A and B are shown apart, each in its own frame.
Chain A
Amino acid sequence: MLELEARAEPSRLMSCLSPLLAVALMLAGGLLVFSALGKDPGEGFRVFFLNPIKDLYGISELLLKATPLMLCAIGLAIGFRANIWNIGAEGQFMLGAVAATGIALHFDASDGALLLPAMVVAGALGGAAWAAIPALLRTRFNANEILVSLMLVYVAQLFVSWLVFGPWMDPDGFNFPQTRMFGDAALLPALLDGTRLHLGFALAITVLVAGHAFMNRSHAGFRMRVAGQAPDAARYAGFSAARTVWTGLLLGGAAAGLAGMAEVAGPMGQLTDKVGSGYGFAAIIVAFVGRLNAFGIFLASLLMALLYIGGEQAQQYLNLPSSISMVFQGMLLFFLLGADVLINYRLRLRRRAG
């Protein structure tokens, strides 16, 4: 019979292989889903995973979709490594978008070169401010940041709705819940002509590199790792627990806020009530599939973006429901958690004795 046997120590190899195994199982599961829905699995696979990246434009769309995911995920990873469970990146994303929109609308007439940098700063601050609420409640009253950050997502959503249905609604927008389109000076310039890929992608790569340096090379990042793995050791070493909470949440919020800014100043060009499209939640999966590691997050965000775009293609060409993306996301996380068992255990074939 097949048994799980504890390993002497966690396998580093399996820790890297387990996301790949999860992807392979997800693909296999996907083929089964396609056949169960009466579609040719080969055709489904081609439409879902190959179509989106068959040309330069497709690849640029993939990178565009991956931009907010990698931004949110790297910020979350910093907190997750320190056992700070911020799952409200979605709300921080929206508040970043709101803050950047506020600057863009207020300086609507401006075409100054400082407008975009100001929006970047405002986006980061907006996200950080939203994340500061769970940080404050956690450090002052020991309120669980998982619940607080999650609930604030819904508050943020209602706040955005109130803005775009109320004070910020475009007067010439036929009552659609959206703001005016931003001026050219408030839009991130394109990186590649003829595509929608914008400067936000370069910003995301920069943040990934900075996040990597912070987590692995800085003393502050080291303190957070210790706080996550052994709180008593952090206390013994004299690392402040409150500072860990603040750093984890503020950096996570700022990165998510940046992603929100890049979304309204990039492909959307305005704020609408649909601004939060689940990137903040999907980024949690991206962070874990990427092993809370910058390079892993880069790859995982590309994969997740492919699932989003592939899902759209599947709707278009295969007549599958839009929830197909979510099915794939769910399978990915499910198989990852399953495969992670192999980091601490090995499979063993054993004949039953006696």
Chain B
Amino acid sequence: MSDRTPPPAASGAPPRLQLEGIGKVYPGVVANEGIDLAVRPGEIRAILGENGAGKSTLMKIIYGVTRPSAGRILWEGQAVQVENPAHARSLGIGMVFQHFSLFETLSVAENVALALPGRPALDELSRRIAEVSERYGLPVDPRRRIHALSVGERQRVEIIRCLLQHPRLLILDEPTSVLTPQAVRKLFGTLRQLSAEGCSILYISHKLDEIQALCHTATVLRGGRVSGECIPARETAQSMASLMIGRALPHCEHTAARADGELRLRLAGLSHASDDPFGTDLQDIHLDLHAGEVVGIAGVSGNGQQALLRAISGEDTLAEKFPVQICGVEAGRLGPAQRRRLGLCFVPEERLGRGVVPDLSLADNALLTAAYSQAMVAAGFLRAGRAHRFARRCIEAFGVKCGGSGALAGSLSGGNLQKFIIGREILQAPKVFVCAQPTWGVDVGAAAFIRQSIIDLRDRGCAVLVVSEEVDELFEICDRIAVIAKGRLSPARPAAGATVEEIGVWMSGMWPGAEPATHVEAANA
């Protein structure tokens, strides 16, 4: 925190951006109401709020994606109506979205070219991309196609795309969720450098520690309105949290794990070549997971997490049986449904479209994975009553805010949907519970609840494996932590003795006993 630059002195110059009484009404929803906001040149202002507080809508209004229903926008003292994102970019506004706006079938360089005016030559552009990615510590190969990139890598492309246009106001929507601690610090260095050069930054986040480390000022949103403004350096995490969620910040109870649990999941030399030419091959992965413990797998996204999870869940089956053993059964060649019957439950990284079907009701989505464990199928026919009862149990036990078991999954907010999915898997009383990114994009209150649910599940004797890119989260809930880098898995070490620094170094592939660095180049240090 000591390296935070002081906020620029107030001067006679007009704010770079000023919002007056901005409101936005969607059919049936008031997303924003009476929002006032001002950002001075060089100021880094946090927009703090839970999911659904109206942060993203407000940013879309500034970036010209949606029009406000009320209020006005002043850009450098002049009233403007931002017609569309191209107009916003021509004004000097750049935005990195939380949900990426990239074309999957095009390469990185082609995607960047689309956002730039004119028709830039791809070779020249690739060189500039390489330059920027080098300078700002955002490694990405300009020739790769987007569909082959991980979530974290896609975000880097978005950031680079903005930086290439030398914006005077940069909007970042939860940019750090997929970066290593070291990479976060590097990004913050970049942002401070931009700020010192006079670029204003709107930094959307719900991570209080980041905001305290980076931002000069903060505007807190709750329920679509401004609930307060503050200087983060003068606040505590608790005081900002209470502005944000209206009550104190919840935290998890984490007692020591049982030491004598039986072996539930064993990865015995799991190797798997990726089907995707740009994917990460898994190489000789070993891991033992016991009943009554939570093991975390840290790592920068794109280092083989997706392949590892698919190999464990059965979405990718293996050529051999032995590399994946679930409760003593060699399961390498079994599909997801068969592994589920061995006691494995799995929460995938993507919710809509993988964890649930958006256009089906919650009851139908309960059928997706719980059909056999909850006897929702008899003689090939569905027992709708049982599916609805089970969905209602998930809703009640996990406090899912929705319109009942008949509500479409796609109508739920991200946090509520994640609670439903986790509830659906946990309430099947799994023997092995594997969870990817348990709190990605979930608000603080829901995240604490989900973490506590995972620890409670462990205390009931379940073996839990959590794959997350948020190192702090892993330290909060895990008994042991391993790191995945370049498709290899480090040994798991007790979380109690480890530090974030150490795990951060391991995330670049340099753990004791790892292959020489010629083979495993530093990924993201």
**Which of A213, A217, A229, A235 is within 8 Å of B315, CB to CB?**
A235
CB of A235 within 8 A of CB of B382, answer: no
Contacts A8-B26, A238-B336, A238-B340 known; A232 to B381 CB distance under 8 Å?
Answer: no
B335 proximity list for chain A (CB < 8 A): 238, 240
Complex contact A237–B27 (CB within 8 A): no
Q: B43 — which chain A residues lie within 8 A by C-beta?
A: none
Q: Check A237–B353 contact: CB distance below 8 A.
A: no
A230→B357 contact, CB < 8 A: yes
A219 contacts the other chain (CB 8 A): yes
* B28 & A236 in contact (Cβ 8 Å cutoff): no
User: In this assembly, does B119 line the interface, its C-beta being within 8 Å of a C-beta of chain A?
Assistant: no
Decide if A236 touches B27 in the complex (CB within 8 Å): no
Interface 0/1 of B326-368, CB less than 8 Å to A = 0000000001111110000010101001111111100010011
A233 and B26 form a contact (CB under 8 A): no
- Residue pair B382, A218 in contact (C-beta under 8 Å): yes
Contact flags A1-35 to B (C-beta < 8 A → 1, else 0):
00000011100000000000000000000000000
Chain B residue contacts of A240, Cβ below 8 A: 335
**Are the CB atoms of A7 and B27 closer together than 8 Å?**
yes
Chain B nearest CB from A351 CB (Å) reads 15
> Within 8 Å CB of B346, what residues of A?
236
Chain B hits for A239, CB < 8 A: 337
Interface string of A209-240 (1 = CB under 8 A from B): 00001000111101001100110110111111
CA of A217 to CA of B360, assembled, Å: 14
A8 vs B31: C-alpha distance when bound (angstroms): 13
Per-residue 0/1 for B69-90: is the Cβ within 8 Å of any A Cβ (1 yes, 0 no)? 0000000000001000000000
B380 contacts partner chain A, Cβ-Cβ < 8 Å: yes
CA separation between A9 and B28, bound complex, in Å? 11
Q: Mark each residue of chain B from 497 to 512: 1 if its CB lies under 8 Å from any CB of chain A, else 0.
A: 0000000000000000
B418 sits at the interface (CB 8 A): no
Contact in complex: A219, B354 (CB < 8 Å): no
CA distance A238 to B345 in the complex (A): 12
Contact A226 B354 (CB under 8 A): no
- Nearest B residue to A6 by beta-carbon distance? B27
Residues of A within 8 A of B313 (CB): 236
Q: B336, A235: Cβ atoms under 8 Å?
A: yes
Contacts of B338 in A (CB 8 A): 238
For residue A218, which residues in chain B have a CB less than 8 angstroms away from its CB?
380-382
Cα-based distance from A239 to B354 in the complex (angstroms): 12
CB-based nearest A residue for B408: A9
**Given the contacts A8-B27, A218-B380, A232 and B350 also touching, CB distance less than 8 Å:** yes
* A219→B380 contact, CB < 8 A: yes
Q: Does B411 contact A (CB under 8 A)?
A: yes
A354 proximity list for chain B (CB < 8 A) = 81
Assembled-state Cα–Cα distance A9/B336 (Å) = 32
Q: Is B38 an interface residue (CB 8 A)?
A: no
Q: Is B471 an interface residue (CB 8 A)?
A: no
| A232 in contact with B354 (CB, 8 Å) | yes
Using known A-B contacts A8-B28, A9-B408, determine if residue A236 contacts B377 with beta carbons closer than 8 Å.
Answer: no
Q: Which of A9, A220, A233, A238 contacts B314 (CB 8 A)?
A: A238
Known contacts A219-B371, A225-B360, A238-B340: A232-B353 contact under CB 8 Å: yes
Q: Residue B360 contacts which of A7, A9, A226, A235 (CB distance < 8 angstroms)?
A: A226
Q: Whole-angstrom distance between the alpha carbons of A219 and B411 in the complex?
A: 24
Q: CB of B369 within 8 A of chain A?
A: yes
Are the C-beta atoms of B357 and A226 separated by less than 8 Å? yes
Interface residue tally for chain A (C-beta within 8 Å)? 22
Interface of B is mostly: mixed
Of chain A, the residue at the smallest CB distance from B335 is A238
Residues of B within 8 A of A9 (CB): 408, 410-411
Residues in A with CB closer than 8 Å to B350 are 232
Which residue from chain A places its CB closest to the CB of B353 in the assembled complex? A230
**Closest residue of A by beta carbon distance from B347:** A236
With A8-B26, A8-B28, A229-B360 already in contact, the answer to whether A236 and B354 are too (CB < 8 A) is yes
Q: Complex: how many Å from CA A238 to CA B354?
A: 11
- B397-411 interface mask toward A, CB cutoff 8 Å, 1 = contact, 0 = none? 000000000001011
A273 to chain B, nearest CB (A): 41
Which of A225, A232, A240, A354 counts the most chain B CB atoms within 10 A? Answer: A232
Q: Which residues of A contact B27 (CB under 8 A)?
A: 7-8
Residues in B1-38 with C-beta less than 8 Å from chain A: 26-29
Give the shortest distance, in Å, between A180 (CB) and chain B (any CB): 42
Complex contact A233–B371 (CB within 8 A): no
Question: Which A residues are CB-close (under 8 A) to B339?
Answer: 238
Bound: A172/B27 CA distance, A = 72
In the bound assembly, the distance between CA atoms of A218 and B377 in angstroms comes to: 8
Complex interface: chain A residues within 8 A of B28 (CB) = 8
Task: Tell me the complex Cα distance, A216–B354, Å.
Answer: 21
B285 to chain A, nearest CB (A): 21
Q: Which B residues are in CB contact (< 8 Å) with A236?
A: 313, 315, 336, 346, 348, 354-355, 368-369
> Which A residues between 239 and 283 are near B, CB-CB below 8 angstroms?
239-240
Q: Which residues of A contact B364 (CB under 8 A)?
A: 222
Contacts of A232 in B (CB 8 A): 350, 353-354
Instruction: Chain A residues near B358: list those with CB within 8 A.
Output: 229-230
Q: How far is the CA of A229 from the CA of B358 in the complex (A)?
A: 8
**Interchain CA distance A301-B33 in the complex, whole Å:** 51
Q: Please state if A233 and B354 are interface contacts (CB–CB under 8 Å).
A: yes
CB neighbours of B359 from chain A (8 A):
229
**Given that A232-B350, A236-B348 are contacting pairs, would A219 and B377 also be in contact in the complex, using a CB cutoff of 8 Å?**
yes
List of B residues within 8 angstroms of A213 by Cβ: 381
| Chain B residues closer than 8 Å to A233, beta-carbon distance | 353-357, 368
Complex-state Cα separation, A240 to B338, whole angstroms: 12
User: A235: which B residues are within 8 A, CB to CB?
Assistant: 315, 336, 354
Complex CA distance for A34 and B337, rounded to whole angstroms: 59
B368 to chain A, nearest CB (A): 5
B369 cross-chain contacts in A, Cβ below 8 A: 236-237
Beyond A232-B353, A238-B335, 16 additional pairs, beta carbon < 8 A: A8-B26, A8-B29, A217-B382, A219-B367, A219-B377, A220-B380, A222-B367, A226-B368, A235-B354, A236-B346, A236-B355, A236-B368, A237-B368, A237-B369, A238-B337, A238-B338
Q: List 18 A-B contacts (CB under 8 A).
A: A217-B381, A218-B381, A219-B371, A219-B377, A219-B381, A220-B380, A229-B357, A229-B358, A232-B353, A233-B356, A233-B368, A235-B354, A236-B313, A236-B346, A236-B348, A237-B368, A240-B335, A354-B81
Q: Which residues does A use to contact B, with CB under 8 Å?
A: 7-9, 213, 217-220, 222, 225-226, 229-230, 232-233, 235-240, 354
Q: What 7 pairs across the A-B complex have the smallest Cβ distances?
A: A238-B337, A238-B336, A232-B354, A230-B357, A237-B368, A219-B377, A8-B27
